Chains A and B, each alone.
Chain A
């Protein structure tokens, strides 16, 4: 549905997006994850045809964004970071206006507007001035504006920014409900956002793609690093040194702030946890807890951004 090959954007000598390539197939929700200023918004603007790419090709449903912009624009719905609202219009006339410039057939305008109002839960505010609505409702009007013409591709730039936790939850439900019939690309700098809504994630940093994977595989990266958290009731002197002698243990270190706690780094492919347990028992330390540690997605994200291997 979406094919991006080597797009690059240079703003006054500064490369904001650097040879980014990816593709999204129908029905997927792709999360664009990256710190602020990573080039997410610019990439999305290139996809929607708002700014041209300096180099590279972006295709939506087989149409080139640069060569056939109108065909592309007919097939996308776009919610920019700041929802593009006319503050001095009422909600319904605003949606009717957007429907007509998005090319919704005249006869269907009323029914599509009604449908979008219903889907985005705007019925209670349909007759109010947009400028007087709360941020949450404004964001929803922005979303309603993007789905009016039932686009193939929905591009959402930080859709939950500035919403309260309850609204964020609703917004995520709403976005999830679009998957299947629409292809969704959303950007965010919050990891939880991606875990909650997306099927695939693309981590972008300083204009480059740092990682691209499904959530499961990304989480699996965290499981590969073999670390053990150990807690014993009565560690004797030299417990650290004793633990290091166990075959399969690479490193052992007392955990700060946890009495009797140790962090062990185990050798890949050799399960040393049994040997550790029997050592604790034979020395009479009183084994309380032993569990494998996995990296959280948050940690994986930060490691990828820093350029470390996860």
Chain B
């Protein structure tokens, strides 16, 4: 445990002694702050125009119109920024030769992976913690958002960010080039983001796909051709699909399980990649 924290703490130090952390956090705050402010302005203008109308005023909801767009924006910014945060984690160690230090110290590769991950998570937490000031700034105004849905939304953004980090860490372990790590991570995240776009039209069932691949053997074994479609599978894999409920303020364990399994799987595979050095 001590090794893990030592590695995590070194990582945090590196982030905050270089301009990287400040640029990433600064840009993140600027963009998310602007979106928050813009939706707040629009919301107050709508309130002024339609507040007297009893039908419309029941539709005006701070959580829906201000807090939810904020989380959506954060997701998009993460998509662009997490690759920058994770690219150097393992790639740079390999490039600069410090990997030789880590792997000749009495440290397991699991501790290295976990330490790196915790270090990057700290940056993410710091970034999100500052944005808590946005909703709390309007807490005492007439447009106070509901606290619980807001916190659930934050929890969702955090989980999504953490799963992005684990994917980035995994890709950083496969290369010693930071640019490749960043581009690869961005591509992987964007792919997982848009993968459900064809879920409506991909109506072919998984069973019939397996049947085609096994040259009809599947059907002969009597395993049936019904069941879930490819589209349904794709929408389950989509990283944004699972985020939508959180954004609405709904806490559903299936989404929680999804994000946690992404994180655990990625960290496990990363550990195996590092370990593979020992038998290659």
Nearest-neighbour CB distance to chain B for A55, whole angstroms, equals 13
Q: Contact between A52 and B278 (Cβ–Cβ < 8 Å)?
A: yes
Question: Across the interface, which residues of B come within 8 angstroms of A97, CB to CB?
Answer: 6, 9-10
Asked if B97 is at the interface (CB within 8 A of a chain A CB), the reply is yes
Annotate A89-129 by CB proximity to B: 1 below 8 A, 0 otherwise: 10001000110111100100000000000000000000000
Annotate B88-115 by CB proximity to A: 1 below 8 A, 0 otherwise: 0000000011111111111110000000
Q: How far is the CA of A78 from the CA of B104 in the complex (A)?
A: 8
Q: Contact between A49 and B279 (Cβ–Cβ < 8 Å)?
A: no
Nearest-neighbour CB distance to chain B for A136, whole angstroms, equals 18
Q: How far is the CA of A86 from the CA of B13 in the complex (A)?
A: 11
Knowing A52-B279, A74-B106, A101-B105 touch, does A88 contact B7 (C-beta < 8 A)? no
In the complex, the chain B residue whose C-beta lies closest to that of A97 is: B10
In the complex, the chain A residue whose C-beta lies closest to that of B105 is: A101
Q: Contact between B104 and A101 (Cβ–Cβ < 8 Å)?
A: no
Q: How far is the CA of A103 from the CA of B108 in the complex (A)?
A: 12
Q: How many A-B residue pairs have CB under 8 A?
A: 70
Q: Contact between A145 and B277 (Cβ–Cβ < 8 Å)?
A: no
Asked if A217 is at the interface (CB within 8 A of a chain B CB), the reply is no
Q: Contact between A102 and B106 (Cβ–Cβ < 8 Å)?
A: yes
Q: Contact between A50 and B103 (Cβ–Cβ < 8 Å)?
A: yes
Question: Across the interface, which residues of A come within 8 angstroms of B277, CB to CB?
Answer: 51
Q: Contact between B18 and A84 (Cβ–Cβ < 8 Å)?
A: no
Question: Across the interface, which residues of B come within 8 angstroms of A86, CB to CB?
Answer: 10, 14, 96, 98
Knowing A51-B277, A101-B3, A101-B107 touch, does A82 contact B97 (C-beta < 8 A)? yes
Knowing A82-B97, A101-B6 touch, does A48 contact B104 (C-beta < 8 A)? yes
Q: Contact between A73 and B17 (Cβ–Cβ < 8 Å)?
A: no
Nearest-neighbour CB distance to chain A for B180, whole angstroms, equals 21
Give the interface size bracket for A toward B.
20 to 34
Q: Contact between B104 and A50 (Cβ–Cβ < 8 Å)?
A: yes
Contact of B97 among A71, A74, A80, A102 (CB under 8 A): A80
Q: Contact between B105 and A89 (Cβ–Cβ < 8 Å)?
A: no
In the complex, the chain B residue whose C-beta lies closest to that of A84 is: B101
Interface residues of A in 59-94 (CB under 8 A from B): 70-71, 73-74, 76, 78, 80, 82-89, 93
- Give the size of the chain B interface in residues (CB under 8 angstroms): 26
Q: Contact between B104 and A76 (Cβ–Cβ < 8 Å)?
A: yes
Asked if B220 is at the interface (CB within 8 A of a chain A CB), the reply is no
Q: How far is the CA of A240 from the CA of B2 in the complex (A)?
A: 78
Nearest-neighbour CB distance to chain B for A280, whole angstroms, equals 62
Question: Across the interface, which residues of A come within 8 angstroms of B3, CB to CB?
Answer: 100-101, 103
Q: Contact between B100 and A50 (Cβ–Cβ < 8 Å)?
A: yes
In the complex, the chain A residue whose C-beta lies closest to that of B3 is: A101
In the complex, the chain A residue whose C-beta lies closest to that of B18 is: A88
Q: Contact between B104 and A49 (Cβ–Cβ < 8 Å)?
A: yes
Interface residues of B in 181-226 (CB under 8 A from A): none
Q: How far is the CA of A49 from the CA of B14 in the complex (A)?
A: 27
In the complex, the chain A residue whose C-beta lies closest to that of B111 is: A101
In the complex, the chain B residue whose C-beta lies closest to that of A157 is: B100
Question: Across the interface, which residues of A come within 8 angstroms of B107, CB to CB?
Answer: 73, 101
In the complex, the chain B residue whose C-beta lies closest to that of A51 is: B277
Nearest-neighbour CB distance to chain B for A44, whole angstroms, equals 10
Q: How far is the CA of A103 from the CA of B103 in the complex (A)?
A: 14
Q: Contact between A101 and B7 (Cβ–Cβ < 8 Å)?
A: yes
For B3, B100, B105, the residue with the greatest tally of chain A CB atoms inside 10 Å of its CB is B105
Q: How far is the CA of A45 from the CA of B17 in the complex (A)?
A: 32
In the complex, the chain B residue whose C-beta lies closest to that of A82 is: B97
Interface residues of B in 62-121 (CB under 8 A from A): 96-108
Question: Across the interface, which residues of B come within 8 angstroms of A52, CB to CB?
Answer: 278-279
Nearest-neighbour CB distance to chain B for A41, whole angstroms, equals 10
Q: Contact between B7 and A73 (Cβ–Cβ < 8 Å)?
A: no
Nearest-neighbour CB distance to chain B for A13, whole angstroms, equals 14
Q: How far is the CA of A97 from the CA of B9 in the complex (A)?
A: 9
Q: How far is the CA of A103 from the CA of B111 in the complex (A)?
A: 13
Q: How far is the CA of A106 from the CA of B1 in the complex (A)?
A: 13
Nearest-neighbour CB distance to chain B for A295, whole angstroms, equals 38
Question: Across the interface, which residues of A come within 8 angstroms of B2, CB to CB?
Answer: 100, 106
Knowing A80-B97, A86-B14, A87-B96 touch, does A101 contact B102 (C-beta < 8 A)? yes
Q: How far is the CA of A106 from the CA of B3 in the complex (A)?
A: 11
Q: How far is the CA of A103 from the CA of B102 in the complex (A)?
A: 12
Nearest-neighbour CB distance to chain A for B142, whole angstroms, equals 48
Can you sample 14 A-B contacts with CB below 8 Å?
A49-B103, A51-B277, A71-B106, A84-B97, A84-B101, A85-B98, A86-B14, A87-B96, A88-B14, A89-B13, A89-B17, A98-B101, A101-B105, A101-B106
Q: Which 10 A-B pairs have the closest CB atoms?
A: A84-B101, A100-B6, A73-B106, A48-B104, A84-B98, A82-B97, A74-B106, A101-B105, A70-B106, A80-B100
A86-B98, A98-B101, A101-B102 provided; 13 other pairs, C-beta below 8 A? A50-B104, A52-B278, A52-B279, A70-B108, A73-B105, A82-B97, A83-B97, A84-B98, A85-B98, A97-B9, A97-B10, A100-B3, A101-B107
Chain A residues with CB under 8 Å of chain B are 45, 48-52, 70-71, 73-74, 76, 78, 80, 82-89, 93, 97-98, 100-103, 106, 145
